Amino acid sequence: MLPVKLSPEYFINRELGILAFNRRVLAQAEDDRVPLLERLKFLCIFSSNMDEFFEVRVAGLKNQIKYNSPHVSADGMLPKQAFAKVSPVAHELVDHQYKILNEVVLPRLAEQHIHFIRRGHWNDVQREWIAAYFFRELMPILTPIGLDPAHPFPRVLNKSLNFAVELEGKDAFGRNSGVAIVQAPRALPRVIRLPREIAGCDHGFVFLSSILHAHVNELFSGMQVKGCYQFRVTRDSDLILDDEETKDLRLVLQGELTHRQYGDAVRLEVADSCPAEMSSFLLGQFGLTQDDLYQVNGLVNLVRLMQIPDSVDRPDLKFANYTPSLPKELAKDADIFKAIRKQDILLHHPFQSFNPVIDFIKQAAEDPQVLAIKQTFYRTSADSTLMKSLIEAAQRGKEVTVVVELLARFDEEANINWAAQLENAGAHVVYGVVGHKTHAKMAMVVRRDEDKLRRYVHLATGNYHQRTARLYSDFGLLTCQEEISEDVNDVFAQLTGLGRASKLRHLWQSPFTLHQRLVKAIQNETEIAKSGKKARIIAKMNALLDPDVIRALYDASSAGVQIELIVRGVCALRPGIPGISENIKVRSIVGRFLEHTRIFYFYDNGAEHIYLSSADWMYRNFFRRIEVCFPLLDAKVKKRVFKEGLEPYLKDNTNAWEMLPDGTYEYKPSKRTSFGAQQSLMAEFGQEVLPEV
């Protein structure tokens, strides 16, 4: 029997778990099986992940430390203790990232005639072209700021590229502060492509930082430049809104977004050539310590190299093109509503096309029999075809209601813009419930079929984002089953109106029933195991952090339930502890596509219930978000989800990392027959040629 309160040793620290996931992402850049330009892309993805880690997680720890928060996380650490553990791991990972870049990726790209030409290797022709580029494109828009009492240290934008310049001598006014700051405008490209005849190779690039280093003296006439050092500061990017004082969320948020660029500094990145005196000076300006300093051997922002794979026409150095197929149910019938009336339709992205989701809303917008459309949006693309169809539907006089989550982190501005366009077209736009992010993925179409109104719904594990639908694995379900559609209608009523939460027939919903029903389902398997019968749980998700759910899983394991968890990101549960979690296995799949599906399977004496959900097993998803978890009632659909969403991922021995009891992950690829879940699904579904929207 487990103790009433589990000791901290049974939990993994959240921040360390996130870094462990980023280590697995970084491993993709080291993998010789991954095409070379894709390896560069994984280095950029790692950088982007680390940016968000500092902007959100490290910023949160620093705020707690600043205000002496007594909060102790489930792993038993105070914020100060957690930061002390996190900092050395983050430094080690960043150092390793640049080692991969400089010692592996860049040299191998050079072997393939893709060169990043450093300043010391420019020939006379290149120097002349670069000088002309500087005077033509850069010089007119650069604003050097000399530091003195009339020119204090400038406000530096979050994650912007800047240069600290050491100077000697006096300017025209007799000033000799010795230090100036040059801010690189964000509109400037960070990597400039040289013409082939200038580069002397098919693909030659120079860094903006190299050009500025070479010509920075032109900005300080008559003075001697002793040194020029690139730097970048990362800031706290969480938005803080007062729920009680907020009258118009969109208006308040528009004002807050500008403040994000100037939140408290949490990290300083400098080139490793930057002397200690200058680093200390910059740290002082941002109120940071040596623990917050990251000296890097190269660009201070590798995310900007993400443009390179797309600009280099070398298919042999990239993943082979993949064209997703169209479900057979829809290939036979262009009328999507007729197809849904015949049967539930499962969509498995990115292996199957996202086009049916677009067609669902597009046909609804054009169909004179459709009276109303309701949809939630958490993240979507700037050129969203779905949004354009909703705008068209509103302009045609249909009742269009859109729940836009304005607080989708880092997508707030895009969502505000879409909300304004929808309102201008005559759609009803609401922002969900203040204090609870609307993370559920739902769309509902009300159509008159002969003399009856019928609701058609789409429920999904992923966002209505046509670009990420090609990169993230997700399931979507199109159905007109009456009880499911009534539940969806009730959830929309909660989001747009007022009143008590109604009792749903099939859907589990946060913040009301999802946590309770999930724990109950785990406990049911526990009781079955105690009676000596077969009991099994399989769950696939992005993150597992909730202490109550972890406790329920430990209880289930102790009772003999066989538990297999596929957790892409952070997992706070420790598997394989004798007497506690010896019946639990945890694995993480990291590959070409970002694993994003949430699937929950309970054996339940052979009934084999399977649920799909928008929610991970985290406190925020259970209690601070509006989420839905829906059962698969159609036997064929249920069988497909098990066969495609769980079974291959449990068999994967190509992209799988096994979690050990100490929280580390072990990668053991098969030395015999290799099997990759993503590769298998691509082979199964990617056979029909279908143009993507």
Give the residue-averaged pLDDT of 30-49: 97
Q: Let me know whether 290 and 332 are in one domain.
A: no
| CA of residue 513 relative to chain centroid, distance | 26
The residues with which 194 forms a beta bridge, in sequence order, are 204
Q: Let me know whether 24 and 164 are in one domain.
A: yes
pLDDT of residue 251: 58
pLDDT of residue 246: 47
Q: Let me know whether 522 and 494 are in one domain.
A: no
Radius of gyration of the chain (CA): 27
pLDDT of residue 245: 45
Number of domain units in the chain: 3
Give the residue-averaged pLDDT of 628-633: 98
Spatial separation of the C-alpha atoms in residues 46 and 95, rounded to whole Å: 12
Q: Assign residue 586 the CATH number of its domain.
A: 3.30.870.10
Residue 691 lies in a domain: no
Residues 6+ apart with CB under 8 A from 145: 151, 154, 180, 181, 182, 183
| CA of residue 396 relative to chain centroid, distance | 35
Q: Let me know whether 477 and 575 are in one domain.
A: no
Residue 549 lies in a domain: yes
Sheet holding 114-116, edge to edge: 114-116, 203-207, 191-194
Work out the percent of the chain whose per-residue pLDDT is above 90. 81
Spatial separation of the C-alpha atoms in residues 555 and 2, rounded to whole Å: 7
Q: Let me know whether 661 and 567 are in one domain.
A: yes
pLDDT of residue 187: 85
**Nearest in space to 652 (alpha carbons), one of 674, 667, 672, 681:** 674
CB 519 within 8 A of CB 555: no
Spatial separation of the C-alpha atoms in residues 255 and 260, rounded to whole Å: 10
Residue 289 phi, psi dihedral angles, 5° rounding = -115, 175
Q: Let me know whether 355 and 271 are in one domain.
A: no
Residue at which a domain ends, from 294, 317, 340: 317
**Nearest in space to 444 (alpha carbons), one of 542, 355, 371:** 371
CB 12 within 8 A of CB 75: yes
Active site residues: 439
Beta strands in 122-223, from DSSP E residues, in sequence order:
144-146, 162-168, 179-183, 191-194, 203-207
pLDDT at 74 over 80: yes
The CB density around residue 462, as the number of other CB atoms within 10 Å, is 23
Residue 178 lies in a domain: yes
Residue 418 lies in a domain: yes
pLDDT at 591 over 80: yes
Residue at which a domain ends, from 448, 470, 503: 503
pLDDT of residue 542: 98
Residue at which a domain ends, from 503, 527, 557: 503
Residue 72 lies in a domain: yes
Q: Let me know whether 455 and 523 are in one domain.
A: no
Q: Which two tokens stand for residue 646?
A: 């769980």
Q: Let me know whether 300 and 340 are in one domain.
A: no
| CA of residue 639 relative to chain centroid, distance | 29
State yes or no: cis peptide before 511, omega within 30 of 0: yes
**Nearest in space to 612 (alpha carbons), one of 445, 458, 495, 428:** 458
Residue 323 lies in a domain: no
pLDDT of residue 690: 37
pTM over 0.85: yes
Q: Let me know whether 486 and 524 are in one domain.
A: no
Residue 2 lies in a domain: no
pLDDT at 95 over 50: yes
Q: Let me know whether 238 and 334 are in one domain.
A: no
Q: Which two tokens stand for residue 35?
A: 């095409």
Give the residue-averaged pLDDT of 120-128: 96
Give the residue-averaged pLDDT of 580-606: 97
pLDDT of residue 150: 60
Domain that holds residue 358: 328-503
pLDDT at 374 over 60: yes
Q: Let me know whether 112 and 69 are in one domain.
A: yes
Residue 199 lies in a domain: yes
Mean pLDDT of all residues belonging to the chain: 92
Terminal Cα-to-Cα distance of the chain (whole angstroms): 55
Q: Assign residue 15 the CATH number of its domain.
A: 3.30.1840.10
Strand 191-194 with 203-207, pairing: antiparallel
For 476-490, write each residue's pLDDT tens digit. 999 999 999 999 999
Ramachandran class of 435: left when φ > 0, alpha when ψ lies in -120 to 50, beta otherwise: left
Q: Let me know whether 516 and 599 are in one domain.
A: yes
